[in-house]
Each structure stands twice: as structure tokens, then as C-alpha cells.
Structure 1
Amino acid sequence: MLQTYFADMHIHIGRDIFNGPVKITASKNLTITNILKESSRNKGINLIGVIDCQSPNVQLELKQLIEQGQAYELDDGGIRFEEVTLLLGSEIEVYDENCQGPIHVLCFLPTLAEMEQFSEWLVSKMKNITLSSQRYYGSAKELQYKVKELSGLFIPAHVFTPYKSLYGKGVKRSLEEVLDPDLIDGIELGLSSDTFMADQISELHAYTFVTNSDAHSLAKIGREYQEIEMKDPSFKEFMYALHQVEGRKIVRNFGMNPKLGKYHNTVCDACLHPMDPEATICEKCSSKKIVKGVADRILELKDFHGENTSRPPYLYQVPLEYLPKLGPKTFQKLLDHFQTEMNIIHHVPYEKLIEAIPEKLAHSIIQMREGKLQVNAGGGGKYGTVSES
């Protein structure tokens, strides 16, 4: 029987088992063990992708959890810890000779053994296998072939971000300039775009869209996620969902309103002044460093003017911590009453919420649930904000 599960497939690791850095810009308490505990106990997320598992020290920590009986590998791929399944992933920075600039991609492998094989292969193509999102020396297609050789999944990451993404920097117009389109399993949208925006590019119609947090701290887990209909949270079932096999599919994408993303609008990189996408110099500070926003880049690439009705709903949402007047103490009070963030966001009725928190804040949660929050746009590395109702 198929059921629905929540999934966030892009989570970074800040520190390894020896307190060594993995994702240098990530929080120090973002260890693999803490990620598993937070996802299972507080977030209520059923399936997560941790994308720094190529690091040997991360693999060592996972092996210790298995040896201690706290986790176990699934026959269908993935590692189960309490109420959450971990998929072993790696985010890689590709500098292909056909790229205009670097692109980030996500590679997922079914088992620890296959991830170890992948790491052994990457050692000859990277300078530091222990760190996250490292530069890969080789072609993008060669990387795709290796992932498929190991029965893995290949997903271009945050594809419109101005820096280090497929359409932001990698290609002039088409993914076929760099990648084998038949070896792509899905497309990750990123925080500054949504389904409607991405579907203006016809070559993306062939792929399932995923919406993930790109979390650099425990609090950001579940910032964006999806609800997936499948038999059980596992690698095989996730693969089936991406390719809509035997009824498995993504039924809803949950993401921030694109205006909240750091790179939605074109701005001056020096002073963040809003800019025309064709401008070459900032009228406010005279800087020539202009960051083209995601919305303007998509308009450049647009070749489809209808509506792709085959997509699941894309619902605008923010993490609870984004809501005005919701501080750490109130957040903990909500968890004490209602167990997990997913439960609070999706299921707890208004009448129950106002028993624990002020009416205005409860109203904001219901507005968020219904996709009615007012937002102020972000750009140039600065996030947008949620307006007080």
C-alpha cells in the first residue's frame, strides 16, 4: 500500500566525527548524528538526503551508528534511524570544458559500500575528499556514467542560482551542452524559483522537480521539501517516485515563495540596489558587479508560454522560524505540545494552536498553511522577509 512521506534531499554536514570541517560554511553542530535526530524527533521528516557522504569520516560515523544498533541499512537502499531514512548523497562542483562556469550536482548511492566505491573513484578527481562541494576534475558526462555504474541517482542542484548552477553559470541555453539528458533523474529548483517559473523552459518538462532546503544548520532542515507517495522511505522507492513508477510520485512540493530567495531579483552585488537585468553599472554606487536574478535569467531562457498541467501542486511555505514573533521559546513550546514541525505546519487545527500560542501567531501559521503569507522580495545574497499580518 502506498502512503505519503515528507522528504528533504539536500542537507549539509558541518563537522565530522573528529570535529573536522566538512561544509565549512555550515553550523558546527550539524553532524550526521544530529541531523538524523533532528529530522526524526523534531522535524518529522521521513526521508532525508545528506549530500556530504563521500567524506570517509562521515561514512565512519554512520558505520559506528550501525555497529551500535542505532541504525541499519535497508534492503532497498538507504539507512534507517528511528523514524527517518537517510539516503547517501554527494554534492559535487563540476568544471566541464563545455561549461561557462561551475555547476553543482547531487549524486545519490544506494548503500554505504557503493558510496565508498564512489569516494575511492573521486579521490583521483578531487583535491580534498573530506570537504563538501569540492571541485571535480573531469567531464560532467563522465560523472554521470560513474553514478549510473554504481546504480545511483543524478540530480542537477539549485539549477537557477546565479553562482555554481546549471542555468545560472553552466550553460548558455540548454542542459544538453553539458549533460546527457537521459541520465538525469530529477531537477532541483532552488530557493529562488518554483514549478511555474521552471516550466517556462520546455526541456525541463521531462523531469520531476524536487524542492530541498540546502540546509547549513539544523534549523534550516525542511526549509523546502516534498511530499512523496511511495511504499516506504528508501532509495528504491525514491527512485521510483522520481520516474513515476507503479504509482509512486511526488504529490506536493513545498517551497518558499521565490521572492524570499536570496537571488530572485537582479541587484548590484556591492550595494544590493535593484537593477535592470540589462544594466552594466550601478546607478547608485557605480559598481560594475551585477548579479542577474533568477526571475530575469528564466525570462532569457523562456521558450514555453502555456501551463504544464502534469505537475503536482507547488505550495508556498516557510519554516516556522521565519514567522514574525515566533522566537526560540515559542517554537519549543509548540514542539512540546505538538511533537514535530511537520505536524504543526500541516495538521494541528487552529483551535488547538491558540491553546498554546497567541492568536495572531496561530493565524500566521494557518496563513502559511494556505499559502497566503505576504512577503518582501530578496536578491543579491539577501533573503526576502515575511511581512507581519
Structure 2
Amino acid sequence: MLRTFFADLHIHIGRDLLNKPVKITGSKDLTLTRILQEASRRKGLDLIGIVDCHVPTVQEELRELMATGQAVALKDGGIQFESVTLILGVELEIYDQNCQGPIHVLCYFSNLESMAQFTEWLSRRMKNIQLSSQRVYVSAHELQRKVKELSGLFIPAHVFTPFKSLFGKGVKQSLAEVFLPELIDAVELGLSSDTLMAEQIAELHEYTFLTNSDAHSLIKIAREYQAIQMEACNFSELTDALHEKKGRRIFANYGMHPQLGKYYQSICKHCDGRSFEAEICLTCQKKGKIKGVAERIEELSSDQIEKRKRPPYYYHVPLDYINGLGKKTYEKLLEHFGTEMSILHDAQIEEVSELVGNRIANQLAKIRSGKIGINKGGGGKYGTLIE
């Protein structure tokens, strides 16, 4: 019998068990064990992907958890910790001769043994195996083939963001300029786009869309996630869901409204200008802009699109975006409702109002209905909610 599971497949580690940095920009609290505890006990997630599992000391911490019985390897892939399943992943940067700019990709493996083999292979092809999101000095095709040799999943990351992504920087027009299309398992949209925007690009029609947090701190875990219909939480079931086999599938995407993303609209590099004529900012009269995701997708869009049936895309707003919801109120909600998933999906608005007041309850109601107002983000600044 198929069930619905909540999954966030792009979470970074800030520090390893020796307190040494992994993701330089990641929070010091973002350790492997803390992530697993947060996802299981407070976020209410069923499946997570940690994308720095190539690091040897991260693997050492995982082995310690397994040796003490706190974590258990699953027969069909993945590692169980309390109520959450861990999928072992790595984020890498490609910049080969076919790239116009650097591209970040996500690779996932079914077990610790496969990830350790990949680490051994990577260590001879990158400068620092201890750090996250490092450049791998091989062609994109070679990397894809190696991932498939180890029965892994290959997914381009946050594909539209202006820097270090497939369409934002990596290619002029088509993913086939760099990648072997048949060796791509899914596409991660990123915070500044949604299904309707990505569907405008014809060559993405065949791929499943993922919405993940790219979390650099504990609070950002599950700021984007998806509901997946599977029989159980493991690597094999996830693989079938990405390829819509045996009834497994992405049931719904929960993503931040694209306008909340920090690269949604084009912004002048020199000022806060948002209007341009022939690449000239109409505010400061200087040339140069950070091209927004909306504009880039418009460039890539096709008039001839055979649309496939996609799961619904719900505009999710993380709790920490709600105006007036501070740490004490957040903890009060968690204590009462259990997890963030319970607050966002199941809590009665009247009960929220009684617990923490009308201001927060009204915003939550608007979020669920998709009727919240937004000041658009761009140029590296996130958008904000309008009450």
C-alpha cells in the first residue's frame, strides 16, 4: 500500500564531528547528528538527503551512529535514524570545456559503501575532499557515468539561479550542451522558480521536478520539500518515484513562492533599480544587472510545449518568514503541535489563534490559501511577506 512521505533532499553540513568546517557558509550547529534529530523530532520529515556525505569525517560520524545502534542501514538503501530516513548525497561543481560557467549538481547513493567508493574516486579529482560543493576536475559526462556505475542518482541543482547553475550560468540554451540527458534522474527547481515557470522549457518536460531547501542552517530545513507517494522510505522507492514507476511518484511540491526567492527578478548591479532599457538601469543610468530567474526562463521558453500532468505546486512559506513569529512563539507552536509539518498542514487556524494570537494565525491562513502579499526578491535579497 502506498503512503505519502515528506522529503527534503538538499541539506548541508556546517561542521563535522571534529568541529571542522564542511560547508563554509553553513551554521556551526549544522552537524550530521543535529540534522537527523531536527528532521525527525521537530521538522516532521520522513526522508532527507544530506549532500555532504562524501566527506570522510561525516562518514565516520555515520559509522559511529550505526555502531551504537542509533542508525540502521536499510536493505533497499538509505539509513534509518529514529523516524527519518537518510539518503546519502553530495553536491559538486562542474566546469568543463562545454560549460559557459560553473554548474552545481547533486549525486545520491544507496549505501555507505557506494558513497565511500565515490569518495575514493573523487579524492583524486578534487582539491579538498573535506569541503562541500567543491569543483570536480572531470567532464560532466564522465561524472554522470561514474554515478551510474555506482547505481546512483544524478540531479542538476537549483537549475535557474544566476550563479553556479545549469541554466543560470552553465549553458546557452540546452542542458544537452553539457550533460547526457538520458543520465539525468530529475531536476531541482531552486527557490526562485516553480512548476509553472519551469514547464515553459520544452526539454524539461520529461523530468520530475524537485523542491528542496538547500539548507545552510537548522531552521531552513524544509523551507522547500515534496510529498512523495511510496510504499516505504528507502533509496529504491525514491528512485522509482523519480521515474514514476509502480505507481510511485511525487505527489505534491511545496515550494516558496518564487517571488520570495532572492534571485526572482532582475536587479541592477550598482543600485536597487529594477527597470532596464537595452541593459541600462533606468534608475542610475549604468549598465549591468543580475539577471533574475523570471527573465532567464522567459529567454529559454518555447511556444511549442507538450505539457505533462504534474503534481500540484503549493506555495509554501516557512514559519520563520511569518511576521511576528519569533523564537519563543515558534517553540510554543512546536510544543503544542509537535512538528513543523503538523503546524503547516494539520493545525486548525482557530487553535493557532488561541495559542499565539490572530496576527500569526491570519498569516498562516493566507499562506495556505496562496493569498499572501509579497515584496519581490532579487539581486541576492529575499522577498518579504506583506500582511
TM-score normalised according to structure 1 size:
0.97
In the alignment, structure 1 residue 215 sits paired with structure 2 residue 215: yes
In the alignment, structure 1 residue 7 sits paired with structure 2 residue 7: yes
Q: How many Å separate the matches in 2 of 1:286 and 1:77?
A: 56
Structure 1 partner of 2:233: 233
Structure 2 partner of 1:270: 270
- What displacement does 1:357 show? 1.2
- What displacement does 1:289 show? 3.6
Instruction: Out of 75-84 and 362-371, give the one that drifted further.
Output: 362-371
Instruction: Out of 52-61 and 266-275, give the one that drifted further.
Output: 266-275
Structure 1 partner of 2:294: 295
**Is residue 212–residue 224 contact of structure 2 (8 Å, CA) maintained in 1?**
yes
Which structure 2 residue ranges, 5 or more long, are not aligned? none
Structure 2 partner of 1:332: 331
1:201/1:338 CA distance change after superposition, 3 Å: same
Structure 1 partner of 2:349: 350
1:274/1:172 CA distance change after superposition, 3 Å: same
Quick one: which amino acid aligns to residue 82 of structure 2?
E
Structure 2 partner of 1:361: 360
Q: How many Å separate the matches in 1 of 2:201 and 2:230?
A: 28
- What displacement does 1:273 show? 1.9
Which structure 1 residue ranges, 5 or more long, are not aligned? none
The Cα offsets for residues 301-322 of structure 1, whole Å up to 9 and x where unpaired, read as: 1114667350000010111110
The within-5 A match list for 1:9-28 is 9-28=9-28
- What displacement does 1:348 show? 1.1
- What displacement does 1:354 show? 2.2
- What displacement does 1:281 show? 4.0
Q: How many Å separate the matches in 2 of 1:272 and 1:186?
A: 35
**Is residue 199–residue 307 contact of structure 1 (8 Å, CA) maintained in 2?**
no
Quick one: which amino acid aligns to residue 145 of structure 1?
R
Identity %: 60
Quick one: which amino acid aligns to residue 97 of structure 1?
Q
The within-5 A match list for 1:245-264 is 245-264=245-264
Q: How many Å separate the matches in 2 of 1:205 and 1:286?
A: 39
Instruction: Out of 161-170 and 288-297, give the one that drifted further.
Output: 288-297
Q: How many Å separate the matches in 1 of 2:328 and 2:79?
A: 32
- Runs of 4 or more, structure 1, over 6 Å off, are none
> Aligned residues, how many?
387
Instruction: Out of 93-102 and 280-289, give the one that drifted further.
Output: 280-289
Q: How many Å separate the matches in 2 of 1:77 and 1:304?
A: 41
**Is residue 12–residue 26 contact of structure 2 (8 Å, CA) maintained in 1?**
yes
**Is residue 205–residue 306 contact of structure 2 (8 Å, CA) maintained in 1?**
no
Quick one: which amino acid aligns to residue 77 of structure 1?
G
Q: Secondary structure at the match of 2:205?
A: helix
TM-score normalised according to structure 2 size:
0.98
1:178/1:65 CA distance change after superposition, 3 Å: same
Structure 1 partner of 2:118: 118
**Is residue 202–residue 305 contact of structure 2 (8 Å, CA) maintained in 1?**
no
Q: How many Å separate the matches in 2 of 1:210 and 1:319?
A: 17
1:68/1:279 CA distance change after superposition, 3 Å: farther
Q: Secondary structure at the match of 1:80?
A: strand
In the alignment, structure 1 residue 135 sits paired with structure 2 residue 135: yes
The within-5 A match list for 1:29-48 is 29-48=29-48
- What displacement does 1:283 show? 4.1
**Is residue 275–residue 283 contact of structure 2 (8 Å, CA) maintained in 1?**
no
Q: How many Å separate the matches in 1 of 2:34 and 2:22?
A: 14
1:49/1:284 CA distance change after superposition, 3 Å: same
In the alignment, structure 1 residue 200 sits paired with structure 2 residue 200: yes
1:193/1:321 CA distance change after superposition, 3 Å: same
Q: Secondary structure at the match of 1:135?
A: coil
Q: How many Å separate the matches in 1 of 2:125 and 2:280?
A: 39
**Is residue 77–residue 234 contact of structure 1 (8 Å, CA) maintained in 2?**
yes
Q: How many Å separate the matches in 1 of 2:150 and 2:48?
A: 20
Quick one: which amino acid aligns to residue 291 of structure 1?
I
Structure 1 partner of 2:378: 379
- What displacement does 1:252 show? 0.5
- What displacement does 1:31 show? 0.4
The within-5 A match list for 1:147-158 is 147-158=147-158
In the alignment, structure 1 residue 242 sits paired with structure 2 residue 242: yes
Q: How many Å separate the matches in 2 of 1:262 and 1:307?
A: 30
Q: How many Å separate the matches in 1 of 2:149 and 2:13?
A: 26
- What displacement does 1:373 show? 1.4
Instruction: Out of 307-316 and 82-91, give the one that drifted further.
Output: 307-316
Q: How many Å separate the matches in 1 of 2:303 and 2:96?
A: 28
**Is residue 15–residue 29 contact of structure 1 (8 Å, CA) maintained in 2?**
yes
Instruction: Out of 301-310 and 227-236, give the one that drifted further.
Output: 301-310
Q: Secondary structure at the match of 1:251?
A: strand
1:279/1:136 CA distance change after superposition, 3 Å: farther
**Is residue 268–residue 379 contact of structure 2 (8 Å, CA) maintained in 1?**
yes
- What displacement does 1:248 show? 0.3
1:249/1:66 CA distance change after superposition, 3 Å: same
In the alignment, structure 1 residue 174 sits paired with structure 2 residue 174: yes
- What displacement does 1:201 show? 0.4
Q: How many Å separate the matches in 1 of 2:303 and 2:111?
A: 39
Q: How many Å separate the matches in 2 of 1:161 and 1:194?
A: 12
**Is residue 54–residue 89 contact of structure 1 (8 Å, CA) maintained in 2?**
yes
Q: How many Å separate the matches in 2 of 1:112 and 1:376?
A: 43
1:42/1:243 CA distance change after superposition, 3 Å: same
